[in-house]
Chain A
Amino acid sequence: MSEKKKWYSLDLGLNRKKSDTACGCGKTEGGCGSHKPEMTDDAFLEAAVNASIGEEVRKDGFEQVFDVKMDRRSAFKKLTASLLIGAGAVSTSCSVISGDDTKEKAQIDWEEQFKGNYKLMNDEEKKATVDRLMRSYELRTGKNISMTHENAEEDVLFGYAFNISKCQGYMDCVNACIEENNQDRNSQMQYIRIHEMKDGKGFNFNEADDNYYHEVPAEGHFYMGTQCFHCDNPPCVEVCPVQATWREDDGLVVIDYDWCVGCRYCMAACPYDGRRFNWSKPEVPENEINKNQHYLGNRMRKKGVMEKCTFCVQRSRKGQNPACVEACPTGARIFGNLLDPNSTIRWVLENKKVFRLKEDLGTEPKFWYFMD
């Protein structure tokens, strides 16, 4: 690893071959007070994260943002939670009882807990954290995943176009998105929403039916999909107090799930209902996990962090289309490079009558709607 690290890291003795005393107190067995009976790592993490989220009610959408109570006690609880996680890692790695695997796990947990912001990392540091996360997954589950950290490609600015006259409300895109992005199967957080709207009423989101379940397309209705629009001037980025979310050079607005403190300011700032919060621990059955992951994309999230559509960064930075584009049977979804004058998305922008939602806000969403 490089010399000029931007954070402090603790050597817990894994790199030293073998020291005769595993604990600072000099005793090899119990008695110094730091060898407490141990909680399993996962149980501990769970408890700490629970403490930091508190007892807020599980709600969806804007209600989550505007209905939050916070007293001194819970604020203090939140502050202590992170320290506890770190302390847990130290106590495990100091322990003489735990085996090599447990110690390695603890070392990884420590380094992950106190690593820097991904946005500030150089390639080497990015690789290191991705390697740690893969190793950690292996240690925990015995299975391998492949996680990458491709940076934004030069001369690329991603954009998206949605054909309102083509969408039939089949919801195949939502299914594909959930599977591709390892979304929690219980909470129905779904990055994509398909709104069923009445013909002749314009785009009236208040009267739209978001929970239709009947044969589609329904007579006299049209369908309109929304998701994160990857604004070029994103208000969600502006408000983040810890810079856990930012705009990448290829226009993707991304989140570092390990840096996010779950304050949900960004959710309140987004005018398009583009962000989703993990109110509970996201659960994905082991055999359904998509193992092709990107650090900023579909890697496994934890309770209490924000997530949202990333235009499938794990796919788009490899030249592929996002999963929703590929899954749509009607061809209503078009994705491409806005900077390339020969791309199909540019043809759509230049030759169809396109519009964006709430254009007057100046957020410059890179998501256009058009009709045949």
Chain B
Amino acid sequence: MNRKYYIYIFTCTFLVVFFSCKHNEGEYHNLNDKIKAVSKTYHGTLSSEVLIDGIKTLEITEGEHTFLIPERKSQIKSFACIECHNVGLDKLQSKDIKKAHWEITLAHADENTMNCATCHNGADMNSLNTLTGSKVDFNKSYKLCSQCHSSQFEDWKGGAHGKKVAGWAPPRASYTCVNCHNPHDPSFKSRWPSRYNTEQVEAPQAESGH
């Protein structure tokens, strides 16, 4: 008698436990589980290729990230620099001629930290140079920024900092530092918002006849 009773309780417990943890196929405890479970590299029909068509890009690989960035040199008005800077900077200095680039003032870091030569190479104006003096192509100017702004660089590579050139679909094309920040004056300025938020105007109540 007693034994039967135990078996009965055991069976009931077993059944309850067995069925309570059942999920239908395709159901997950939460969104994160679901995202991980059905994760799949996208090879669908949608692509950003048409959207970035007409924008010159180049592919870069940084760490484990490979993506496109817009080509820069063709966007610089007076490139190539050596068309004027055909001799070294020191030889171009003279008192009487009209100064070029006079409108540029550096509002980036204080004078102890940086000046023109921190990024520009006086001996070879067609390319930039790193802190240790190695050459960097104008197209890859992000390599200069990343020397100091390393956390932003990490975020940019992953996609948490900066903007995409076009759509969400692959291939990934991201704007590079200088597309949003002017390297000579990189901060975002305070300004008026482009419109009011929500309920600025009182709703007309009189006309409804209450």
Interface string of B45-64 (1 = CB under 8 A from A): 11110110000000000000
Question: Residues of B contacting A270 with CB < 8 Å?
Answer: none
Chain B residues in the interface with A (C-beta under 8 A): 30-31, 34-35, 38-48, 50-51, 151-152, 155, 158-164, 166-170, 172, 174, 180, 188, 190-201, 203-205, 208-210
Complex Cα distance, B160 from A352, in Å, reads: 8
Closest chain B CB from A95 CB (angstroms): 34
A183 at the interface (CB under 8 A from B): no
| Cβ A338 vs Cβ B35 within 8 A | yes
Name the segment of A1-9, A212-220, A257-265 touching the other chain. A212-220
Q: Which of A174, A210, A336, A346 contacts B195 (CB 8 A)?
A: A174
Complex Cα distance, B34 from A212, in Å, reads: 39
| Cβ B188 vs Cβ A216 within 8 A | no
- Give A219-266 interface residues, CB cut-off 8 Å to B: 232
| Cβ A344 vs Cβ B159 within 8 A | yes
Inter-chain contact count A-B, CB under 8 Å?
170
| Cβ A339 vs Cβ B40 within 8 A | yes
Across the A-B interface, the 9 shortest Cβ-Cβ residue pairs: A344-B159, A319-B46, A319-B169, A347-B158, A171-B193, A340-B42, A319-B167, A58-B203, A364-B31
| Cβ B42 vs Cβ A339 within 8 A | yes
Complex Cα distance, B163 from A109, in Å, reads: 44
Question: Residues of A contacting B159 with CB < 8 Å?
Answer: 334, 343-345, 347-348
Instruction: Taking A60-B199, A321-B164, A329-B188 as given, write out 6 further A-B residue pairs in contact, using a Cβ cutoff of 8 Å, ordered by the A residue number.
Output: A157-B35, A161-B160, A175-B195, A188-B201, A210-B199, A352-B155
The chain B residue sitting closest to A232, CB to CB, is B31
Q: How large is the interface on A (under 10, 10 to 19, 20 to 34, 35 or more residues)?
A: 35 or more
| Cβ A331 vs Cβ B163 within 8 A | yes
| Cβ A190 vs Cβ B40 within 8 A | no
Complex Cα distance, B31 from A330, in Å, reads: 28
Complex Cα distance, B47 from A319, in Å, reads: 6
| Cβ B198 vs Cβ A210 within 8 A | yes
| Cβ A370 vs Cβ B160 within 8 A | yes
Complex Cα distance, B206 from A169, in Å, reads: 33
Complex Cα distance, B167 from A366, in Å, reads: 18
Name the segment of A39-47, A114-122, A148-156 touching the other chain. A148-156
| Cβ A351 vs Cβ B158 within 8 A | yes
Question: Residues of B contacting A58 with CB < 8 Å?
Answer: 203-205, 208
| Cβ B209 vs Cβ A55 within 8 A | yes
Question: Residues of A contacting B39 with CB < 8 Å?
Answer: 339-341
A171-B44 in contact given A338-B35, A339-B35 (Cβ < 8 Å): no
